[in-house]
Structure 1
Amino acid sequence: MRTAEVGVPAISPGDGPAAPLPPRSPVPRLGALATVVIIGSVMIVLDTTVVAIAYPTLAREFGAAITTVQWVSSGYTLALAAVIPTAGWAMGRFGSRRVYLTAIAAFTVGSALAGLAWNMESLIAFRVLQGLAGGLVSPVGMAVMLQAAARRGSDNGKVMSLLGIPILIGPLTGPVLGGLLIDSVSWRWMFLINVPVGALAVLLAVRLLPRDAPRSGQRLDLPGLLMLSPGLGAFIYGLTRGAEGESGMTSAHSLVPTAAGLVLITAFAVRALRTSSPLVRLRLLGERRLAVGVATVFLFATGYFGSMVLAPIYFQSVREASVLTAGLMGAPLALASGTVMQFATRLTDRVAPRSIVVPGVLLGAAGFAGFALQAQADTPYWRLMIALIVIGAGGGMTLMPSIAAATRGLSPDQAPAASTLIAIFSQIAASVGAAAVSLLMARRLTEPFTRADPETMTQAVRHAYLWPVAAVLLALIPALLSSRRPPERTG
């Protein structure tokens, strides 16, 4: 059987004489590669969704405010966003196989440390360690998959649907698994469960990932990294302090870091547009298709992922459900999202993106508004489940289909950089969304989260849903600019 080969770096005329290259490894079947990538990605997504269900538990365990607990997720996602831009450099410098193995192993160690955390500060620190490792897993895995798929002539939508499987498995099993572990054992097992999964991922990666040849001379844009990472951290920190303080965003504790973060991010963007080898290739946004896709994903994800903490808080604090029950209540959203995503993303290989994404955005907005308007202490559960299913269907029709459409037609050189760009904006959106939701909810709470009465919590949760409704509706603007033409068939 004929096999394709990867791992040989392209040599440009200015690179000098080509050094002898080691023998190239045959690429395993796409299904085998997908197995390795999916297990690693599921572990990353699972860790995010498990923590979302545990906010009330962690608040009680450590006596912390909800906005402080929110840093368990924000610190993780900010670390992800900070390290994702280095993925391309790391793959070129050390080889994708070595980077993937190191990232999975480091994430597993971080998970073990998070499970042993002794206070909120140590838990946040170990979550940052997890994020620094986990941020490399998805982009490196995606690069390996896209490289193999390109050589086999696979459709872009089909590949993206495979890469989207963790979106189904993680959110569907994470809250249920987290609830079961928290109720039956301890919150610590939310993280310790990653240890055997990580070990399995490492073993499969050693066996199945093709070897590739690293290249020397790959320079990291250190000035850009030193502007972007602190800028994002300061910006999100300012939002969080605004949610905690009585003066909101007008206090110096909030306004100063927020403004400093925006200055650093702006400086990074200006430099990235001028330097020849930027950390993030922002000039790619000059491609209309990519710019529309990034904008749609960013705005929709800001509301979609920012809202993930609201339903668990509502079910536990207002309806007095157990953690496990709250996790089960979120299963319809995850199942709808993952199932619809598989069909909708594959459809982008045959139909116009606008005909999929625009209805998805409208469904998402309708679902969020429906949940917010209905959420009361005695609302029938079936009505809330319908709203969650609509939200999930909207997400399935918007996120991965937008990414598939945005990356279609890019050259092999552009595709990895574009995927990295989308991953960064997605992680920023999740952090900004979570901070904004916490800010809106905190504005309606006059006492600590754990002591608020059910009626107050109901109003706080409903008020916080204003953010996802507004953000998702804004995503309609770039969605309407997406292509009205079906993709051209090349095979």
Structure 2
Amino acid sequence: MSAAPKVDAALWRTAFVLVLGTFMATLDSTIVSVGVEVLAERFDAAVTDVQWVSTAYLLAVVAAVPASGWLANRFGGRRTWLAAVVVFVLASVLCALAWSLPSLVAFRVLQGLAGGLLPPTGQALLARAAGRERIGRVLAVVSVVPLLSPVLGPLVGGSVLAVADWPWLFAVNVPIGAVAVLLALRAVPAAPPAATRTPFDARGALLLSPGLAVLVFGLTGLEGGTPPVVSAGSIAVGAAMLVGFVVHGLRTTRTPLVDPRLFARPPFGVAALALVLLGASVFGTMFLLPLYLQGAGGLTAWETGLLLAPQGVGAAVAAIAINRAVVTAPPRTLVLTGIVLVAVGTAPFTQLHHDLPDVAVALSLLVRGAGAAMIGAPVMNIVYSRIEPAHLPGAASALNLLNTLGGSLGTAALAVVLQARLDTRGPDASAAFADTFWWVLALAVVAALGATRLPRPEAPGRARIPNEPTTASASRNPSEKDPADA
């Protein structure tokens, strides 16, 4: 088996700059979680109302991701990424200057719209810069960032509030964003717009993005704070809009925002399932554990953040360990190993009602973090190494949409399960959390079954199989030239 290709310093610099954008966007999804009570006191609002500061950001991210591929093709990848960083930083400043809760929520929507563009656009730029043979090694490192955000968010938020007032939860993005913009102008290669400009799929955008946001809103509302009839109606409307988008995507003669046929093509369909379940498992666990540790566990927000930190350590160690293996070892072997580790790390949480020691929690999270890192990078490498440069933005948009959606829907679904178990268990909250973690374990089992369909070993950097479909653009625009070849 051939050796892993060398990654030079220039590519690592590019990866570092692009990952700053992903770091900001993913960190802001959790950094506010420890400041809910502070914001409630500052704006004299109920905690349920303040939760919209987080919910609005999440919904905006979900709504923005589908459009990232078209924007990158229309205006160029680096230009789109830089614009998203600038808007994100400006929105962060506005959040810090918010004078009321409604204004803060509105600015968080703007921040989320920009933040939703950063991970997929950054991944597409990185995949283009790395090429098929090196993208796996680079992804093995940078894909750890989304796994760290659920851990670092509460830690950073708690640290900020320990020494400063709430506006600094958002102002902390300003120096990071400024450095990212300055470095990107020198370290990130320009990615020209697509040679053939396709019209924006307005009908698809009106169905897909709002449909996803409405569906996530309805599922999130099931955990409390929203009348059941509103939640049920939102779920029905969101699902209907998504069905409408699928029908539209199958019938339109133009390039849809996301091609539904893409998910039926191997290995994209299996890779999509793995990313959805990975997002649901990682973010679902990071939703459940803090609630348990700060509730039944009696820990403070800072203590909870420290106890969750081993997941990030495990992910970082595994990323270094598989840096070379991700392009030389069979992807199915890595992914299945990662899923097994996630399952092993989840199993102890099904015994929370037996007073699980903090050491056992930390060790379990360490194992889970290592397993999660062994899933994301190989799965994305499978897809990106088979995609032509011109179609990278569309593929990155679809992959990030699934990962984001998995985290959103998984968290919402587990919240519903938890509430049902709390109603059944009564005062025994630990048992309710333990019951809910059985569902997290079930996600790992389903993911393992899907991962058995991943490709068998093949030579690194394999060219695309003749007549093998790639993305929506490839299937609908076979004559489109790659800008790199123009």
TM-score clears 0.5: yes
1:55-134 alignment to 2 at 5 Å?
71-118=52-99, 120-134=101-115
**% same residue:** 34
Counterparts of 1:305 and 1:268, CA distance in 2: 26
Q: Which residue of 2 aligns with 1:434?
A: 411
Report the residue type matching 1:426 in the other structure: N
Report the residue type matching 1:458 in the other structure: S
Q: Report the alpha carbon displacement of residue 264 of structure 1 after superposing the two structures with TM.
A: 0.4
Which of the numbers 238, 241, 245 marks the counterpart of 2:218? Answer: 238
Report the residue type matching 2:129 in the other structure: A
Q: Which residue of 2 aligns with 1:371?
A: 349
Is the CA contact (8 Å cut-off) linking 2:352 and 2:433 kept in structure 1? no
Q: Which residue of 2 aligns with 1:407?
A: 384
466 and 431 in structure 1: CA distance in 2 versus 1, 3 angstrom threshold: same
Is the CA contact (8 Å cut-off) linking 1:359 and 1:397 kept in structure 2? yes
Is the CA contact (8 Å cut-off) linking 2:150 and 2:283 kept in structure 1? no
Counterparts of 1:460 and 1:54, CA distance in 2: 26
Secondary structure at 1:318 match in 2: coil
Q: Report the alpha carbon displacement of residue 455 of structure 1 after superposing the two structures with TM.
A: 5.5
Gap runs ≥5 in structure 2: 1-7, 464-486
1:55-454 alignment to 2 at 5 Å?
71-118=52-99, 120-150=101-131, 154-167=133-146, 170-171=149-150, 173-214=152-193, 217-244=197-224, 251-275=228-252, 276-344=254-322, 346-374=324-352, 379-444=356-421
Counterparts of 1:246 and 1:74, CA distance in 2: 13
Report the residue type matching 1:470 in the other structure: A
Is the CA contact (8 Å cut-off) linking 1:290 and 1:407 kept in structure 2? no
Residues 380-406 of structure 1: per-residue CA shift (max 9 Å, x gap): 211111121122122112222222223
Q: Report the alpha carbon displacement of residue 160 of structure 1 after superposing the two structures with TM.
A: 1.3
Counterparts of 2:461 and 2:192, CA distance in 1: 33
354-363 vs 89-98, greater mean Cα deviation: 89-98
Q: Report the alpha carbon displacement of residue 49 of structure 1 after superposing the two structures with TM.
A: 3.5
Q: Report the alpha carbon displacement of residue 211 of structure 1 after superposing the two structures with TM.
A: 4.1
284 and 321 in structure 1: CA distance in 2 versus 1, 3 angstrom threshold: same
121 and 465 in structure 1: CA distance in 2 versus 1, 3 angstrom threshold: farther
286 and 114 in structure 1: CA distance in 2 versus 1, 3 angstrom threshold: same
Counterparts of 2:168 and 2:116, CA distance in 1: 22
Is the CA contact (8 Å cut-off) linking 2:346 and 2:441 kept in structure 1? yes
171 and 335 in structure 1: CA distance in 2 versus 1, 3 angstrom threshold: farther
Is the CA contact (8 Å cut-off) linking 1:364 and 1:472 kept in structure 2? yes
Secondary structure at 2:185 match in 1: helix
CA RMSD after TM alignment: 3.1
2:454 counterpart of 1:482: yes
Gap runs ≥5 in structure 1: 1-26, 447-453
373 and 119 in structure 1: CA distance in 2 versus 1, 3 angstrom threshold: farther
487 and 212 in structure 1: CA distance in 2 versus 1, 3 angstrom threshold: closer
Is the CA contact (8 Å cut-off) linking 2:218 and 2:231 kept in structure 1? yes
Q: Which residue of 1 aligns with 2:467?
A: none
Secondary structure at 2:327 match in 1: coil
Counterparts of 2:224 and 2:32, CA distance in 1: 20
Secondary structure at 2:382 match in 1: helix
Under a length normalisation based on structure 1, what TM-score does the superposition of the two structures give?
0.83
Counterparts of 1:41 and 1:34, CA distance in 2: 11
Is the CA contact (8 Å cut-off) linking 1:77 and 1:428 kept in structure 2? no
Residues 420-440 of structure 1: per-residue CA shift (max 9 Å, x gap): 111111111111122123223
Counterparts of 1:460 and 1:61, CA distance in 2: 33
2:19 counterpart of 1:38: yes
Q: Report the alpha carbon displacement of residue 353 of structure 1 after superposing the two structures with TM.
A: 1.5
Report the residue type matching 2:430 in the other structure: T
Counterparts of 1:397 and 1:212, CA distance in 2: 29
Q: Report the alpha carbon displacement of residue 349 of structure 1 after superposing the two structures with TM.
A: 1.0
Report the residue type matching 1:166 in the other structure: V
324-333 vs 171-180, greater mean Cα deviation: 171-180
405-414 vs 58-67, greater mean Cα deviation: 58-67
Is the CA contact (8 Å cut-off) linking 1:53 and 1:323 kept in structure 2? yes
Report the residue type matching 1:277 in the other structure: T
Is the CA contact (8 Å cut-off) linking 1:84 and 1:135 kept in structure 2? yes
Residues 298-354 of structure 1: per-residue CA shift (max 9 Å, x gap): 122112212212222222223332222211111101111232134336423111122
- Corresponding residue pairs, total: 453
Report the residue type matching 2:169 in the other structure: M
Report the residue type matching 2:387 in the other structure: L
206-215 vs 127-136, greater mean Cα deviation: 206-215
Report the residue type matching 2:176 in the other structure: V
296 and 129 in structure 1: CA distance in 2 versus 1, 3 angstrom threshold: same
Report the residue type matching 2:221 in the other structure: R
431-440 vs 44-53, greater mean Cα deviation: 44-53
Is the CA contact (8 Å cut-off) linking 2:147 and 2:282 kept in structure 1? no
Report the residue type matching 2:287 in the other structure: V
